């Protein structure tokens, strides 16, 4: 299914669901904002959103890596090489996210390539 940017209504629906779960927790970081200054409220809310965003990104990258093939054609020599997962940290707008990026190494051509990146580039849709 092609990527479709979420609509403002969809984002609002998701936010409402997350907030409904959060409001059920008596001790979440913003449960008692009366004792907090505006800056503390703003920074805490932003930190919570960043943590959620980083987790969503990590889970999406993991799902993407799970779908990567076991072998991929090298873009240079056109031979099939085994795809492994290389642990790396991606710096996102919401902080560092650990992932296992699918990567292949052509033994004869000594070429490193990333099948997921090339697949994503061909499927990329403007945001
Ligand atoms: Zn190659």
In a domain, 1, yes or no: no
pLDDT at 37 over 90: yes
**Distance from Cα 116 to the centre of ligand 1, integer Å:** 16
Number of other residues whose CB lies within 10 A of the CB of residue 20 = 9
Is residue 69 included in any domain, yes or no? yes
What confidence tens digit (pLDDT) does each residue in 58-108 have? Answer: 999 999 899 899 999 999 999 999 999 999 999 999 999 999 999 999 999
Across the chain, mean pLDDT equals 89
Q: Is residue 44 part of a domain?
A: yes
In a domain, 103, yes or no: yes
3 belongs to a structural domain: no
| CA–centroid distance, residue 25 to ligand 1 (Å) | 53
122 C-alpha to center of ligand 1: Å?
20
**What is the domain extent for residue 58?**
8-123
Residue 120 has pLDDT above 60, yes or no: no
Q: Is the pLDDT of residue 45 over 80?
A: yes
* Dist. CA 65–CA 99, nearest whole Å: 8
The predicted pLDDT at position 125 comes to 44
Q: How many domains does the chain have?
A: 1
The residue that leads in pLDDT, 52 or 121, is 52
Residue 112 C-alpha to ligand 1 middle, in angstroms? 8
Checking if the pLDDT of 6 tops 70, the result is yes
Query: Has residue 65 been placed in a domain?
Result: yes
- So what's the pLDDT on residue 127? 47
Spacing, Cα 70 to ligand 1 middle (Å): 16
CA of 20 to the centre of ligand 1 (A): 51
Is residue 13 scored above 50 in pLDDT? Answer: yes
Q: Which of 93, 64, 51 has the alpha carbon at shortest distance from 3?
A: 64
Q: Is residue 64 part of a domain?
A: yes
The structure's pTM equals 0.76
In a domain, 112, yes or no: yes
Cα–Cα distance, 17 to 122 (Å, whole number): 33
Distance, CA of 111 to CA of 113 (rounded, Å): 6
């Amino acid at each position: 299914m092609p990527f479709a940017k979420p609509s403002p209504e969809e984002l609002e629906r998701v936010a409402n669901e997350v907030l409904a779960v959060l409001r059920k927790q008596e001790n979440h970081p913003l449960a008692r904002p009366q004792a907090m200054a505006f800056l503390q409220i703003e920074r805490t809310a932003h930190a919570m959103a960043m943590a959620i965003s980083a987790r969503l990104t990590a889970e999406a990258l993991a799902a993407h890596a799970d779908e990567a093939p076991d072998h991929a054609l090298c873009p240079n020599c056109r031979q099939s090489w085994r795809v492994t997962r290389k642990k790396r940290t991606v710096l996102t707008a919401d902080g560092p996210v650990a992932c296992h990026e699918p990567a292949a190494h052509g033994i004869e051509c000594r070429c490193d390539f990333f099948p997921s990146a090339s697949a994503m580039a061909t499927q990329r849709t403007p945001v």
